[in-house]
């Protein structure tokens, strides 16, 4: 049985958590930008 | 844990449920107070910007399946299970250019079924409408049932009460605020979901390192790290095609394409895909930590809340409760709005009362949303189904709609009769595969059969189409 190596597992999980966190921050930044420009909806 | 295995005290759960319900309904009333036109109510004025557009794509695609089933997939199929779930984001990426094209080709469009009617004629429209309504209603019911079951499992709130409150709240704010309320609350819900998942991931990592999780998996559950896990590899393809079929055909996504401002749709869907992509892995890994943390998981479908409750106590349970509630509400409201659009625009406006004015349809739309909420509640009262299989049963139907939609948007010569045959035969063979081979093959086979018929039929008998026919205004403004 060939297993996914530790480095792959760590990179995958850490990468996912960092991307999720960045997603939250990014959404707020986008909202602020649209709000400032009056292009929310 | 509290009595009955729940991880959150029932009083706290009611308090959270009550508080969020009041906030969502109040926002629905606030955002809906100025909506006087059908376009305003159904499509938020066709002027939605990038932030709200991207957030609504993420929130709608994060269902309770993402937050609850992704950890279950991880515990059953390991790394491939999480990756398989993540492939559902590819649907958002591939729909991105289509969203832009839909907005350009149909500047006055309302629904995905309307596109099929204008593009392929009424027979294809009837079939597509049946598939769309069946799928949307299946999804709505599965979310209602999931909501009731999850609230009961997490907090001990009786199934009937939890399910009823979720459906009632979502129906109320969608009736009051239309798509604007749906998209507005989606932003808050998507933010809550992203923050909640990061908090839970951080909680796990504060107790144990990823190296320790890996070591425990190698020793106790090596199959979860297997690079070649055949069932999981099949699940990757099935999930990918299921995601494509759902997004390409469903009015939930088309109505957002119509609602976004010209030039926003493509970027919003790409961003939505990027934001969604890591969520199944970030949520799923919580389950993989269970062996290393020596946490006993008696029910695999409750692995995420069990781990969160063990690690963070009541605080973890509150986070899971809010994330799950937001995931379910953000999908139910979208389904109510998009399904009501299909019924109002395509059934009321085309079959029952052809040529009805926008004002009349706007009134009808509110009644349809309310009626859908009631019917969903009645069905949810009767049924009790497994989270995954209810929705996967619709896989062959949506899979068979992928190629008719793609060909309809990009292939000038697509043959309408081939499209009809593709949807019918694709659905039938996919359903046959579901029962004879396994759920994980249904969407794959339905899509493959449909593809062969659309491509083969069009090569044999091409039918040229004038794109301008899609730009027609189908609704008259006067009362």
Q: Is B466 exposed, middle or buried (0-12, 13-18, 19+ CB in 10 A)?
A: exposed
In this structure, are B270 and B231 located in the same domain? yes
Residue ending a domain, choose from B315, B350, B381: B381
Together in a domain, B340 and B435: no
pLDDT at B389: 58
Q: Are residues B56 and B191 in the same domain?
A: yes
| Final residue in a domain of this structure, among B321, B348, B381 | B381
CA distance A6 to chain B (A): 6
Whether B333 is in a domain gets the answer yes
Which residues of chain A lie closer than 8 angstroms to B205, CB-CB? Answer: 17
**Residue whose tokens read 């109505």:** B255
CATH code of the domain containing B117: 1.20.1730.10
Could you write out the three-class secondary structure of B365-417? HHHHHHHHHHHHHHHHHHCCCCHHHHHHCCHHHHHHHHHHHHHHHHCCCCCHH
Q: Is residue B478 part of a domain?
A: no
**Any domain includes B110:** yes
Domain range enclosing B456 = 393-466
Candidate from A2, A10, A17 with C-beta closest to B201 = A17
Asked if residue B118 is part of any domain, the answer here is yes
Torsion angle, CA of B47/B51/B56/B58, rounded to 10 degrees? Answer: 150
Q: How far apart are CA B53 and CA B125, in angstroms?
A: 28
On whether both B239 and B215 belong to a single domain, the answer is yes
Note which residues in 198-237 of chain B have CB less than 8 A from chain A: 198, 201-202, 205, 210-211, 213-214, 218, 222-223, 225-228
Contacts of B198 in chain A (CB under 8 A): 17, 20-21, 24
Out of B49, B183, B197, closest to residue A39 by CB:
B49
Q: Does A20 sit within 8 Å of B201, measured CB to CB? A: yes
Q: Say yes or no: B317 and B444 in one domain.
A: no
CA dihedral (B69, B74, B80, B83) positive or negative:
positive
Judge whether B475 lies within some domain: no
Contact B153, B6 (CB under 8 A): yes
Mention every residue, 6+ apart, whose C-beta is less than 8 A from residue B417.
B457, B461
Q: Does B433 reach chain A within 8 Å, measured CB to CB?
A: no
Same domain, B323 and B192: yes
**Closest to B442 (Cα-Cα) out of B389, B387, B404:** B389
pLDDT score, position B1: 47
Gap from B428 CA to chain A (nearest CA, Å): 37
Contact across the interface for B79 and A9, Cβ inside 8 Å? yes
Rounded to a whole number of angstroms, the distance from the CA of B408 to the nearest CA of chain A is 29
**In this structure, are B313 and B425 located in the same domain?**
no
Q: Which of A10, A14, A16 to mutate to test the interface with B (most CBs of B within 10 A)?
A: A16
Per-residue pLDDT of chain B (479 residues; tens, 9 = 90+): 454 567 789 999 999 999 999 999 999 999 988 778 889 999 999 999 999 999 999 988 887 767 777 888 888 888 988 888 888 899 999 999 999 999 999 999 999 999 999 999 999 999 999 999 988 988 898 889 888 888 888 888 999 999 999 999 999 999 999 999 999 999 999 999 999 999 999 989 998 999 999 999 999 989 889 888 777 777 777 778 777 878 898 999 999 999 999 999 999 999 999 999 999 999 888 889 888 888 887 777 778 888 888 888 888 889 888 988 888 898 899 999 999 999 999 999 999 999 888 889 999 999 999 999 999 999 888 765 554 456 667 888 888 999 999 999 999 999 999 999 999 999 999 999 988 988 778 888 999 999 999 999 999 999 999 999 999 877 654 44
B190 Cβ under 8 Å from any chain A Cβ: yes
Among B326, B353, B381, the domain-final residue is: B381
Residue B163 and residue B254 in one domain: yes
Same domain, B244 and B197: yes
Check if B154 contacts A (Cβ < 8 Å).
no
Task: Look at residue B145 and tell me if it is in a domain.
Answer: yes
Domain count within chain B: 2
- Tokens representing B216? 């425990």
Residue B471 lies in a domain: no
B273 located within any domain: yes
Residue B408: both structure tokens together: 């309809």
Q: Considering just the CA atoms, what is the radius of gyration of chain A in Å? A: 17
Are B364 and B399 contained in the same domain? no
Which residues are CB-contacts of A41 (< 8 A; sequence separation ≥ 6)? B44, B45, B47, B48, B49, B52, B180, B183
Chain B hits for A7, Cβ within 8 Å: none
Cross-chain residue pair A3–B48, CB shorter than 8 Å? no
Check CB contact under 8 Å for A17 and B198. yes
With CA atoms as reference, the chain B residue closest to A27 would be B51
Angle at B293 between CA B287 and CA B296, to 5 degrees: 70
* CB nearest to A6's CB, from B198, B211, B222: B211
CB of B311 within 8 Å of a chain A CB? The answer is no
Cβ within 8 Å, pair A20-B198: yes
Q: What is the pLDDT of residue B309?
A: 83
Cβ separation A40–B278 shorter than 8 A = no
Q: How far apart are CA B157 and CA B185, in angstroms?
A: 24
The predicted model gives A13-36 an average pLDDT of 96
B283 with B404, same domain? Answer: no
Measured between beta carbons, which residues in chain B are less than 8 angstroms from residue A9? 79, 210, 213-214, 225
Same domain as B297, residue B187: yes
Determine contact: B57 vs chain A, CB below 8 A.
no
**pLDDT for res B391:** 66
Q: Which pTM value belongs to this model?
A: 0.92
């Amino acid at each position: 049985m060939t297993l996914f190596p530790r480095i792959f597992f760590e990179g995958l999980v850490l990468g996912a958590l960092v991307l999720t966190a960045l997603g939250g921050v990014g959404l707020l930044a986008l909202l602020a930008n649209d709000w400032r420009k009056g292009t929310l909806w | 844990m509290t009595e009955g295995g729940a991880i959150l005290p029932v009083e706290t759960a009611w308090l959270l449920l009550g508080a969020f319900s009041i906030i969502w309904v109040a926002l629905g009333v606030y955002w809906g107070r100025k909506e006087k036109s059908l376009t305003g109510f159904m499509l938020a004025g066709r002027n939605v910007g990038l932030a709200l557009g991207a957030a609504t794509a993420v929130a709608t695609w994060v269902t309770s399946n993402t937050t609850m089933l992704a950890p279950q997939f991880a515990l059953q199929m390991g790394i491939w299970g999480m990756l398989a779930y993540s492939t559902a984001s590819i649907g958002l990426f591939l729909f991105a250019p289509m969203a832009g094209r839909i907005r350009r080709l149909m500047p006055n469009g309302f629904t995905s079924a309307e596109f099929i009617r204008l593009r392929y004629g009424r027979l294809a429209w009837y079939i597509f409408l049946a598939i769309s309504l069946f799928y949307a209603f299946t999804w709505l019911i599965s979310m209602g049932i999931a909501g009731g079951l999850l609230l009961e499992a997490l907090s001990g709130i009786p199934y009937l009460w939890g399910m009823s409150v979720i459906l009632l709240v979502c129906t109320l704010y969608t009736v009051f605020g239309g798509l604007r309320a749906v998209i507005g609350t989606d932003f808050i819900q998507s933010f809550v979901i992203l923050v909640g998942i990061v908090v839970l991931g951080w909680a796990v990592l504060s107790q144990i390192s990823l190296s320790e999780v890996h070591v425990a998996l190698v020793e106790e559950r090596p199959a979860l790290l297997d690079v070649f896990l055949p069932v999981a590899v099949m699940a990757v393809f099935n999930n990918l095609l299921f995601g494509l079929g759902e997004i390409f055909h469903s009015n939930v996504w088309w109505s957002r394409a119509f609602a976004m401002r010209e030039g926003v749709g493509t970027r919003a869907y790409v961003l939505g895909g990027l934001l969604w992509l890591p969520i199944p892995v970030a949520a799923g890994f919580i389950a993989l930590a269970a062996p290393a943390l020596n946490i006993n998981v008696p029910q695999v479908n409750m692995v995420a809340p069990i781990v969160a409750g063990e690690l963070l106590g009541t605080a973890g349970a509150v986070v899971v409760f809010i994330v799950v509630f937001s995931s379910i509400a953000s999908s139910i409201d979208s389904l109510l709005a998009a399904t009501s659009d299909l019924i109002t625009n395509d059934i009321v406006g085309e079959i029952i009362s052809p040529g009805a004015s926008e004002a009349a349809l706007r009134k009808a739309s509110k009644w349809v949303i309310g009626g859908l909420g009631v019917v969903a509640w009645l069905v949810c009262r009767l049924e009790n189904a497994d989270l995954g299989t209810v929705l996967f049963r619709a896989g062959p139907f949506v899979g068979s709609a992928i190629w008719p939609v793609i060909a309809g948007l990009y292939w000038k010569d697509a043959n309408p009769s081939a499209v009809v045959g593709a949807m019918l035969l694709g659905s039938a063979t996919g359903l046959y595969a579901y029962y004879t081979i396994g759920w994980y093959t249904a969407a794959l086979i339905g899509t493959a059969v449909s593809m062969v018929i659309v491509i083969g039929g069009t090569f044999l008998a091409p039918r040229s189409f004038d794109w301008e026919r899609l730009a027609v205004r189908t609704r008259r403004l006067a009362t």
